[in-house]
Structure 1
Amino acid sequence: MSEACKSAQPLGLSTGPLPESVDDEEGQTGKCEAEQCLIILLHAYLNQASSLKSVADEIAKHWPNAAICCPELGASVLSLNDPNAIVCDLLSMVDECVDQANQADKPITSIIIVGHSMGGLIGRKLYVAACGETPDAPFEEIYHQAGEVNAQGLLAARTWAPLVKRIVLLAGMNRGWQISHHLSLVHAVGWRLGTVAGYATKLMTGRWPLIFKLRRGAEFITHLRIQWLQLRRLATEPDRLGNLPAGNALTVQLLGSRDDVVSPEDNVDLVAGYDFVYLDVPHSGHADVIRLQDPHYGRGRAKVLMQALGLPADALRSLAATPADDQFLTSNDTIKNVVFVIHGIRDQGFWTHKIARRVKHLAGDSACEWATETSSYGYFPMLPFLLPWYRRSKVEWLMDQYTEALARYPKARFSYVGHSNGTYLVAKALELYPCCRFTNVVFAGSVVRVGYDWTNLLGANPPRVTKVLNFIATSDWVVAFFPKFFQFLRLQDLGSAGHDGFRTSAHSGSFFQVRYVKGGHAAAITEDEWDSIAKFVLTGEVDTQRLPNAVHRKNAFIDLLGRMPPLVWGGIGLVMYLIWEGIELLIHTSVIDPETRGLVTGLALSSYLLTLWLVVTRL
């Protein structure tokens, strides 16, 4: 047996049949589904394998012949581990356990994965990776480094994947975590301080702490949700011989009655968890749901756990808790196309609804097959936009919306219209999330760097993006002076594609640029351009020479200043300095006695700095 299994103890592989059923005075708790049963226990963040000792002891008491593996996941508060690397190690561990059991002529015939909090996410990803890659939800690169590829060029399923009969989640954080009003005061303060420490760690090491990779919308979470959705859909489609592929293991989630760490909408994920069986655990929170030795409530928790592990599916569903109606997300197979219309900075996004309506209007008879997504991430002032971690949080927001749309419209192709920061969101998403795909993409007032790699996205097989239309404005001083400043200094990942255009070798039949549309930062989203945008979304075609307000030259003054954006920033700094000098001169030439002058100067400086702060954080 592997070292991971040995270290977990508390038992080795079974040597005889498991009992057919287990009864006690509280009623039947069920049975293991096969004679040679391997149970994998995965602990929570900040915990160790020993935290699941009471769980392991309870299972061993009922199923004395089961093999129980409880590996250390390396999830300390300072951990910089990659959750995908943890999953790869677990895959190797299970491979070894199964091989050793086969060599001992005692093959494993049933596997159950049990995960607490973070361990539930790791356990589900372990199952997804074991079941093999699906065409519409490719795996991250780390899995390709050690896995075997099948005839379709996809990572093949593990031989033991069909043996996974059940996955049990204890206080799962299925959508990741976020700071919300559901947190207790102590936890809210702790998470806030932890967030600051996480940003500092990223700044110093260039790597995110493990817990940040489990945040709502983060790559690991989004990939897992999308891969899980695709896996479950394919698991219902039999092959030519009528056999169902791996991927239909029963998933049971135990919900603490007073979880004050993970909010209900993050705990119950009815996007990827629509087919879970949910069981309430009385008198339990996020941490103590695994404390089965508690003298007051441990017995009730143990009973629910053993029911989740052993009762037949039908019996479990008769006991299941039904989530609130507003948590359900219904699927609509009639929608064939979805268009995201996402606004930029210093913008509430009211125009997005109008472009969305124009798309449906021009769709004509097929309008019923179109859906629009115009959600807003809120008002985004200039200073937060210039901070990479704030922009990253909006990318995670977008991918959370993307995943929900994928669940709501399973047969739809997605297109995208973005303005300003909305262009950055989708460009970054395409970089970070291999599962992210769009058909027709429109950029207006783009703040993406000019060297963005469209060629690989357009040339992928299948294409990650089918066609792109980028509007370049004549007088977009916002892009020319601010994002271009960071591109000029080669800092961050902002750029001036809305002012200079993209430099790309992408084929002209799939990549279009409008040089130029007359106006400033919002030139391409004015009402005159709505029809052109809508038609491109619908057809992927555009005549860049015959668009409203199309001209052939940029504003010479903006273009000149845009060639040296540091000069503009220096000019802004000089103006700010001169304004303060003017204020000081006014104070010193006014009729104020010397003793009062110092106080007035201090108040004036405070007011001046406060005004500047409000300008960059509110406007």
Structure 2
Amino acid sequence: MKRLIVLATGTDGSPQKWRPLLNQLHEEDLIAGSKWLTFNHCGFWNFHAFSKFFTKSIETLSLELKSKIEQHWQAAVVSGEPFDDIICIGHSIGGLIVRQAYLVAAGAYPGSVKSAIPWVGKVSRFVLLASTNRGFKANNFLVSAVVDWSSATGWFPNLRDTVQGSAFVTNLRIAWIRYFSSFQGAEPIMMIQILGTEDGIVQREDSIDIQQFPNGVQFDIADVNHDNLYRPKGRNSEASEEWNLRYKFLKWAILQCEPQKPEQIPSELRDGVMVNPTESAFETTTVFVIHGIRDSNSGWASQLEDKIRNLTQGKITVVRSTYGYFSAFNFFFPWLRRQNIRWFQDQYSYRFALNPKTEFLFIGHSNGTYILGESLKRVSAMRFNRIYLAGSV
């Protein structure tokens, strides 16, 4: 079998860090003769890599990866040995990059055109190593300030694009679910997310959009974090029993895992690997209730939520704004407005990932209508069945 293996590394995925895993994989008989495309897109190990991190957006990097895959595809066709199979691997934000490259090539976004080079039809699996599928949390003042500075200046666009609730992440999650919900391929594509139990960046529930499909699963590996999931923990540890077991699992996930058959996990790995099931989805309605400036959650928004829950006997999910009292003074600052917009976009994509069959309704006043309007401009995949605007700006 002629196979292409695509690897998109994380932000600091230097070639040196990946060498132990890749050297061992290259020696495997199962993938002997496979062509490798390693996309070390940005990082801190040299000036060229750092400059990409400083200036290139995730969307631009995804288009670069797409073009590189298509170059490899065309070269294989010209040589008379076209690819029979493509495996896509992504670590951290590399998971977002490789998924975006696939969706763009598949024409999955509204108004987009499917690539004339048919490589997406040969992709058999995505293996995501601690992929930031929901983006990273700007959970302290310093990180939030840097993200807002990036949004205002355009520098470090990686931060702007990959923060939780960004337009890029929201669009990707929604488009991913819509595309694979109506997937027309002969065989389902396998989707595997692998996460260390000590990961401080990615949470268990961040990959619901992967786990919504019967062929999607998340595995937890004990005692590893976001950075050392794919490599030995320290120097001279490549021969350790711990790394040998982890390598066997990574090899199995990349080449042999069938998500619908977790019982096929090799027996020697079962003690250190846990299958993390998705939350069950059911058909329902989700209503957003977003208040305006000089108002808070304790007023009409809270009363309306109680009324909806009582009238529908709790069968409708109500998502209320969480930013509390929002003054006209606060509204004056763009970075505070952006935080609320990101919260709304993240909640939309999370609720959609949790239940792709949900019907979305919106009730908003003043600043709530502003949040909706700005989100609709940024997120082309966002849709509502009914919208009520009160005191719209």
Shift of the alpha carbon at 1:374?
A: 3.1
In 2, Cα distance between the equivalents of 1:169 and 1:264?
13
Q: 1:285 aligned to 205, 217, 225, which one?
A: 225
Residue among 77, 80, 104 paired with 1:105:
80
Structure 1: gaps of 5 or more residues: 1-34, 150-154, 181-187, 236-243, 449-619
1:339 is displaced (CA, Å) by: 3.1
Change (3 A) 1:37 1:270: same
Residues 279/421 of structure 1: CA separation in 2 closer, same or farther (3 Å cut)? same
Distance 1:58 1:374, change over 3 A: same
Distance in 2 separating the partners of 1:114 and 1:106: 22
Matches within 5 A, 1:244-323: 244-245=184-185, 248-266=188-206, 269-275=207-213, 276-292=216-232, 294-295=237-238, 296=240, 297-313=242-258, 317-318=262-263, 319=265, 321-323=274-276
Shift of 1:195: 4.0
Q: How does 1:92-241 map to 2 (within 5 A)?
A: 92-133=67-108, 138=110, 144=112, 149=113, 155=114, 158-180=117-139, 193-203=142-152, 205-206=153-154, 209-235=157-183
The corresponding residue for 2:60 is: 85
Query: Amino acid of the residue matched to residue 48 of structure 1?
Result: S
- The two structures have a TM-score, normalised by structure 1, of 0.54
Relative distance call for 1:218 and 1:61 in structure 2 (3 A) is same
d(CA) in 2 for partners of 1:349, 1:71: 49
Q: Secondary structure at the match of 2:198?
A: coil
Aligned residue identity for 1:259: D
- CA drift of 1:274 comes to 2.9
Structure with bigger RCO (C-alpha 8 Å, 6+ apart): 2
CA contact (8 A) 2:138 2:164 kept: no
Q: Give the match for residue 389 of structure 1.
A: 335
CA distance in structure 2 between the aligned counterparts of 1:278 and 1:201, rounded to whole angstroms: 32
Q: Distance in 2 between matches of 1:219 and 1:402?
A: 11
The residue type equivalent to 1:118 in the other structure is: I
Match of 1:65 in 2: 33
Aligned to 1:599: none
Instruction: Note if contact 1:279-1:304 (Cα within 8 Å) is conserved in structure 2.
Output: no
1:342 to 286, 290, 293: 290
Cα distance in 2, alignment partners of residues 194 and 314 from structure 1 = 36
Amino-acid identity (%):
27
Divergent runs of 4+, >4 A: 356-362, 367-370
Greater Rg by CA: 1
Give me the TM-score of the superposition, normalised by structure 2. 0.83
Contact 1:45 1:118 (C-alpha < 8 Å) held by counterparts: yes
Which has the larger strand fraction?
Answer: 2
Q: Name the SS of the counterpart of 1:322 in structure 2.
A: strand
Q: Does 1:442 align with 2:388?
A: yes
The answer to whether the Cα contact below 8 Å between 1:48 and 1:72 also exists between their aligned partners in 2 is yes
After TM superposition, the structure 1 = structure 2 runs for residues 41-52 of structure 1, keeping only pairs within 5 Å, are 41-52=7-18
- Give CA-to-partner distance per residue, 1:421-454, whole Å, 9 cap, x none: 21111011011111112233222233x3xxxxxx
What is the aligned residue count? 367
1:379 aligned onto 2:324:
yes
> How many Å apart are 1:124 and its aligned residue?
1.7
How far 1:59 sits from its partner (Å)?
A: 1.4
Contact 2:193 2:218 in 1 (8 A): yes
Map Cα deviations across residues 452-506 of structure 1 (whole Å, 9 max, x no partner): xxxxxxxxxxxxxxxxxxxxxxxxxxxxxxxxxxxxxxxxxxxxxxxxxxxxxxx
- RMSD over aligned CA atoms reads 2.9
Provide, for residues 353-409 of structure 1, a one-character-per-residue CA deviation record: whole Å limited to 9, x for no partner. Answer: 5435656888xxxx6897342323231432433221121121111112212332455
Equivalent-residue separation in structure 2 for 1:107 and 1:317 (angstroms): 32
Q: Deviation of residue 234 (structure 1)?
A: 0.5
Deviation readout 1:103-150 (Å, 9 max, x if unpaired): 1111110111111111111122222223332xxx526xxxx4xxxx4x
- SS of structure 2 residue aligned to 1:313: coil
Unaligned runs of at least 5 residues, structure 2? 44-49, 266-272
CA contact (8 A) 1:349 1:376 kept: no
